[in-house]
Structure 1
Amino acid sequence: MHIEDLKFQNITQKYLKPYAKRSPTETMQFLKWILENIFRLDAQDADDACVDQKQDKGVDALVINDTLETIFIFQSKFKNSDKATLGDTDLKEFTGTLAQFKNPEGIDVLLAGKAHEGLKATIRRINLKEKIEAGYAIEGVFCTNVSLNGEGIDYLKNVVDITVYDSNRIVADFVDLDADAGVDDTFELNTSDTEVIDYQTADGVTAKIFLANALQLTHMKGISDSRLFSRNVRYSLGNTKVNKSLISSIRDKKEHKNFPLYHNGITILCDHMNAPSGDKLEISRYMVVNGAQSLTSLLNAKASISADLKILVKIIALGGDEELTDKITQNSNNQNAIKARDMRSNHGIQQRLKKEISLVKYGSYELQVKQGEATVKGVTTISNEKAGLALLALDLGDPWSCHQKYKVMDDSYSKIFGRSDVTGAKIIAFHSALEAITDSLDSFDDKLFGYYTLTTYFLGYVVSEIIKDDKVGKQVFNNIKQVVEKGKLQEFLDVFTSLASTTVADLNAEIEELRENEDGFDYKRDLKSPKWCRTMCGKLKASYNKDVKRKKAEPVSALLANIL
């Protein structure tokens, strides 16, 4: 992204069009774009956060981050003049807005006053007063598509509770997803031996449906390196039962004439499509959004393809319409047996995290968001499902839910990934922390308990709570991105591993005592109980604190003193 992209005409055409139906004004479209692309909220959460109405007391959105114990109050100013800048006048007014939220009494005044019911409803729904009473910090976020001028910069020098996302900050923080990926080339298909069905929508989108010769499809670029399937919800899954069946049909030439009867077809999206002659069809900048398994199988069995083997092909020329591309991808794949993880693979949050992880300077990592993605030698691959489980246990403190893996990319998706502090660096750190404590599992007296899947998540949760219970430790946890970027991840992991070893020793003693009680100890039951996990975590934290007082263990603040 460049500064030019945020100018009125450019941003409204390139980025805000998909938000037009969700927001009546360009200012709110811009704010929702910020919430999703800079603050990483899910679309539903972004909609819920926005409260912009008349008499809204200068508040455009409210976001609670329970992990950071922070209430973010947003105000947005969208300028249609390319010469406009942001000075101190708007920021001074915003300071007054924030003053209303400094204490619970201010919230009572707001609720009793003439503020819009939309704002009041949001305040009640997110339990804002209770959060403030609990000590949550208030942070103002001012968003604009223009740059700060000198007066604005000078004003912010004396203000600590306002963060401004002007055009320069947005460009610096925006993760370009390369949404127009695919094959940037031209490909020609021969349609001389088939009937072509032409279809055109009211919006001018054109499509052609026909039986294509399978051999010519294998000449499309990007099959072997998966570039062709960049918008598909998953890549080739390898030697699966379905792919074995496909290859078997391809190699049996008696079945070639029947192949279209067995196969659902392939969907190809392109920017442009034209027919230079009656029997030629030319497409440019193209991608396959449904058919990765089929094309990969065809390429692998290319030598067996005969002229009789044809595949139903649907080619749609969209002219770069990203919103329609997403809809076609989702609906065409909904007809197949796919998982929630597959459907999330192209989601903006996943693609941003994937890009961020690939750009981390210390170490070599890759986030696997699609089934079948090839691994690279020397690169640590982290599946987004495992990343979600690490966040669930260590960041959100919910290890008892980690056996319900299906929820990570489904019911719990927004809660886990849709938060402003979930960055590529955080995923690397917490995934690595769980990996680092695996050696500690051998120290459990009960090996079956030690190597039970949920035990790792529980142990990681307890260690995280011990760290967060310390003032310095909490600061490190809340700034884990900085730890990674400064190249000090290994130092953090060494402390995490050391605390895990200490915790295992204490847990062994606690479990031994539990076995003597009437209820006994059933780890398959207890590790799925929030009450049991929280109670045991409290005991283990108390045990560690006793050791610190007795000087049998170092305080977390000492262990992590020089890490930030």
Structure 2
Amino acid sequence: MAKSVQGMPLEVRQVREALLREFADRVSMEDFEKKDPKERETALLSRAVSAKAARILTHCTSDEAAAGVIDGRDDFGIDSVAFSASGSELWLIQAKWKNSGTAGFDTEAALKLIHGLKKLDNRDLDHFNERLRLLGDRVHGVLKLPTCKVHLVIALMGDGRLSPETRNILDEAARDFGGLGRTVEYRVVDQADFHRAIREDLESEPITLTAKMTEGWHDRETPYKAIVGEVSAAELARWYADNDERLYDRNVRKSLGLTGVNKTLVDSMLEDPYGFLYRHNGITVQCDTIEREFFAKRATGAPISLTLHNASVVNGAQTVTSANRAFEKDPDAVAEAYISVRIVSIQGTPEGFAQSITKATNTQNHMERRDFIAIDPVQSEIQKDFKLSLDKEYVFRRGEMDPAPESGCSVTEAATALACAYRDPTFAVRVKGSTEALWKEGADGAYTRLFGQQPSAYQIWRSVQVLRAIRDELTKLRSTLSGRAASIADSGALLAAHVVFQRIGNEAIEEPDSDWDMILRDVPDQVRIVLACLIDMVDKLFTNKSYITSTFASEEKSRQLVQAVLLTLDAGSSTPDLSAFVTAASKKRPKRPPTVHLLVDHDLIPDGTPLAYAASDTEERAIGAWLDQDLRRRRATWLNDRKAPILWEADGRRYSPSGLVNHIWQQAEWREQWSAVQGPKQWRVPGEGTLVEIAERLWRRLDTEQEPEEDGRS
């Protein structure tokens, strides 16, 4: 088990964070207001453990579990009380918390718990605390029943092993109390149980789908169950309407929004619904089990209704989403369109079979290498770790909207940060060329090296925070530079980030209890030092006539640079101050072309790239509620067209960036809207910046990387 500082195992840390989120504001801690914060937290966690045990055992709500906590003075070994819905069962819970995950339950604790049971059975409530007395009537209502059942629960943040002496005490109590229909039994809820419970809390409810096949179908029973037939597009539209993007949880990606391909699907269903079946490849659904219900005759091909338990569309997300969009426009037309549907039951299939089906069937829309990492279990485990350890979001399927920067990150941002933090600069160099390099698998592949041994949520999130701080500082510094120094700042950004990561060190990033705030505050200073040394070292190693772009595209030269910069900085050798490279431009810069022209002419953003509306704080206050009424209003797709490069998901029409922003303001009836519209600043590519920022980076590169001789510094 991976451990963090102070001996706290990862599982314990995740349980701790989950308990605090669930019960910190629910469990009463009035008796600890004036006590040491550490003592207070330990008591809170112990009480939260007892409440969580109640939830696990009785399936009550969090509020009900917290209301049953009686831990404190005069609790007589009972930390929490819980009841069955029928009122015939009673749970008496004693909890133990230890940060090390080694909490135990000895004979003294067992005797104390038994003593508490006896006092309750004798109706001796006078010496109990007020919290128990408030529950007294309900407790006695259970105990007076001739067939009551009492559960003694030991809730431990530990392995749950009890000594033979302890078990004897509990067994004897069960014999003494039981008889004539009354029973007492005991059980342990241990660390593994708590960790399993908090992970299950993250799981979404299984989806059940109904598929009616009235136009014929055929099935296969061996080696695995599968049914192939035709389903109305209207029924697929209802699947999406009822379940939204959850429908694709096992797919390699979510719906990609209203891309050019998907708009064609919508138009095709509406314009020629009868011919849609012949032009479309069909979809694939995986499920655990399939229930059949014939309408009349029980025969292969006869009309049938199928119930698919724990189902997911693993190929065809764009088709199903498009069916829903078409249905919203013309339900009657879509009802006439049919789609070939293949349903595969994964019950009894070998390990890896479901993932292989998902990977093999995803070929209809353009597939990127990144899409297939979505079926790597490591990614879903990281997503859970983010939620459990940090209460933040981590998205890894293409088509999912990136979370707000303070709320989490995407797998692309995470992988880029991990690539920069990796001990060898190779991946930082490759990523600069293309983010596709992040997803290569194999012995020398970035994905295998970065995610093969699952990185923790702390490691990823802190790496992302560092990379963001580095980029912010480099953006500020870049505006003060010109010529060759500016070109190095642009082309060497990720290599500079790699050096900063090496100077911070893995230990500071991976240990949850390091002084992280101080480390993060020091990043801008590190960036300035590293960048100055990097600029100086390029000329020392490769002369001031070297080509910047090719230098930073070379893995070998980048290794030399990193080694030289680290040795220089570690030795404390004097390096130029960054101000030495701040010079005025020696000639008038050519006029920068319009943002859209620049992006389209250089084909910088691929067709179909998702865009998000980057609303300002003022806009959020004015029209945020209107935007949130239909999240498609915040989404669009990029098309490489000079006049109308944005396809708005809300209506399927094409606009210029400013034209769409103005249209949104009018639709939202924002009467105090600004007179000036700056559309390219208000649409962004998630993880890469606004259209203006992307275009500006391109222009700087074009402007500063022409000829090395243009710079006057020698």
Name the CA distance, whole Å, in 1 between partners of 2:294 and 2:278. 29
Name the CA distance, whole Å, in 1 between partners of 2:542 and 2:288. 66
Check conservation: 1:175, 1:356, Cα contact below 8 A. no
Check conservation: 1:183, 1:227, Cα contact below 8 A. no
Name the CA distance, whole Å, in 2 between partners of 1:180 and 1:273. 25
- Cα deviation for residue 499 of structure 1 reads 0.8
Unaligned runs of 5+ in 2: 1-158, 164-188, 296-302, 578-714
Check conservation: 2:538, 2:561, Cα contact below 8 A. no
- Cα deviation for residue 315 of structure 1 reads 1.8
Q: What amino acid does structure 2 have at the position aligned with 1:287?
A: S
Does 2:264 align with 1:238?
A: no
Is 177-186 or 302-311 further displaced after alignment? Answer: 177-186
Does 2:279 align with 1:262?
A: yes
Q: Which residue of 2 aligns with 1:496?
A: 523
Give the counterpart of 2:212 among 174, 190, 211: 190
**1:509-555 C-alpha deviation (Å, 9 max, x unpaired):** 444656855xx2322111122332233233333443454899x9xxx
Q: Which residue of 2 aligns with 1:8?
A: none
Alignment CA distance shift 1:269-1:523 (3 Å): same
For residues 444-463 of structure 1, what are the structure 2 equivalents within 5 Å?
A: 444=478, 445=481, 446=484, 448-450=486-488, 452=490, 454-463=491-500
Q: Which residue of 2 aligns with 1:425?
A: 458
For residues 55-94 of structure 1, what are the structure 2 equivalents within 5 Å?
A: none
Name the CA distance, whole Å, in 2 between partners of 1:335 and 1:246. 12
Check conservation: 1:176, 1:352, Cα contact below 8 A. no
Alignment CA distance shift 1:415-1:261 (3 Å): same
Alignment CA distance shift 1:183-1:250 (3 Å): farther
Alignment CA distance shift 1:427-1:270 (3 Å): same
- Cα deviation for residue 332 of structure 1 reads 1.7
Larger radius of gyration: 2
Is 368-377 or 210-219 further displaced after alignment? Answer: 368-377
Q: What amino acid does structure 1 have at the position aligned with 2:437?
A: K
Q: What amino acid does structure 2 have at the position aligned with 1:455?
A: G
What count of residue pairs does the alignment treat as equivalent?
371
Name the CA distance, whole Å, in 2 between partners of 1:185 and 1:542. 57
Check conservation: 1:270, 1:316, Cα contact below 8 A. yes
**1:183-217 C-alpha deviation (Å, 9 max, x unpaired):** 6354333333x112122213xx3222111111122
Does 2:323 align with 1:304?
A: no
Does 2:418 align with 1:396?
A: no
Does 2:371 align with 1:342?
A: yes
Give the counterpart of 1:367 among 386, 394, 398: 394
For residues 24-63 of structure 1, what are the structure 2 equivalents within 5 Å?
A: none
**1:30-80 C-alpha deviation (Å, 9 max, x unpaired):** xxxxxxxxxxxxxxxxxxxxxxxxxxxxxxxxxxxxxxxxxxxxxxxxxxx
- Cα deviation for residue 224 of structure 1 reads 5.7
**SS of 2:439's equivalent?**
coil
Q: Which residue of 2 aligns with 1:464?
A: 501
Q: What amino acid does structure 1 have at the position aligned with 2:286?
A: L
**SS of 1:219's equivalent?**
helix
Is 307-316 or 323-332 further displaced after alignment? Answer: 323-332
**SS of 2:339's equivalent?**
strand
Give the counterpart of 2:556 among 513, 523, 531: 531
Q: Which residue of 1 aligns with 2:362?
A: 333
Q: Which residue of 2 aligns with 1:123?
A: none
Alignment CA distance shift 1:437-1:375 (3 Å): closer
Check conservation: 1:233, 1:345, Cα contact below 8 A. yes
Check conservation: 2:395, 2:411, Cα contact below 8 A. yes
Does 2:334 align with 1:291?
A: no
- Cα deviation for residue 269 of structure 1 reads 1.8
- Cα deviation for residue 256 of structure 1 reads 0.9
Q: What amino acid does structure 1 have at the position aligned with 2:339?
A: I
- Cα deviation for residue 347 of structure 1 reads 0.5
For residues 146-185 of structure 1, what are the structure 2 equivalents within 5 Å?
A: 184-185=206-207
**SS of 2:261's equivalent?**
helix
- Cα deviation for residue 247 of structure 1 reads 1.3
Alignment CA distance shift 1:451-1:236 (3 Å): farther
Q: What amino acid does structure 2 have at the position aligned with 1:294?
A: T
**SS of 1:209's equivalent?**
strand
Report the RMSD for the aligned CA atoms in angstroms.
Answer: 3.6
**SS of 1:210's equivalent?**
strand
Does 2:218 align with 1:218?
A: no
Name the CA distance, whole Å, in 1 between partners of 2:542 and 2:220. 71
Alignment CA distance shift 1:500-1:280 (3 Å): same
Name the CA distance, whole Å, in 1 between partners of 2:489 and 2:574. 31
Name the CA distance, whole Å, in 2 between partners of 1:525 and 1:171. 55
Give the counterpart of 2:450 among 403, 416, 420: 416
Alignment CA distance shift 1:186-1:304 (3 Å): same
Name the CA distance, whole Å, in 2 between partners of 1:260 and 1:237. 22
Alignment CA distance shift 1:292-1:451 (3 Å): farther
Q: What amino acid does structure 1 have at the position aligned with 2:449?
A: K
Q: What amino acid does structure 2 have at the position aligned with 1:416?
A: L
Check conservation: 1:251, 1:304, Cα contact below 8 A. yes
Q: Which residue of 1 aligns with 2:225?
A: 206
Does 2:319 align with 1:282?
A: no
Q: Which residue of 2 aligns with 1:271?
A: 288
Name the CA distance, whole Å, in 2 between partners of 1:461 and 1:393. 4
Name the CA distance, whole Å, in 1 between partners of 2:497 and 2:449. 19
Alignment CA distance shift 1:201-1:187 (3 Å): same
**1:286-339 C-alpha deviation (Å, 9 max, x unpaired):** 111111101111111213242321111112233375643222212222565312
Name the CA distance, whole Å, in 1 between partners of 2:429 and 2:316. 38
TM superposition score normalised by structure 1: 0.58
Q: Which has the higher contact order (CA 8 A, sep 6+)?
A: 1
Name the CA distance, whole Å, in 2 between partners of 1:179 and 1:447. 52
Q: Which residue of 2 aligns with 1:315?
A: 343
Q: What amino acid does structure 1 have at the position aligned with 2:370?
A: R
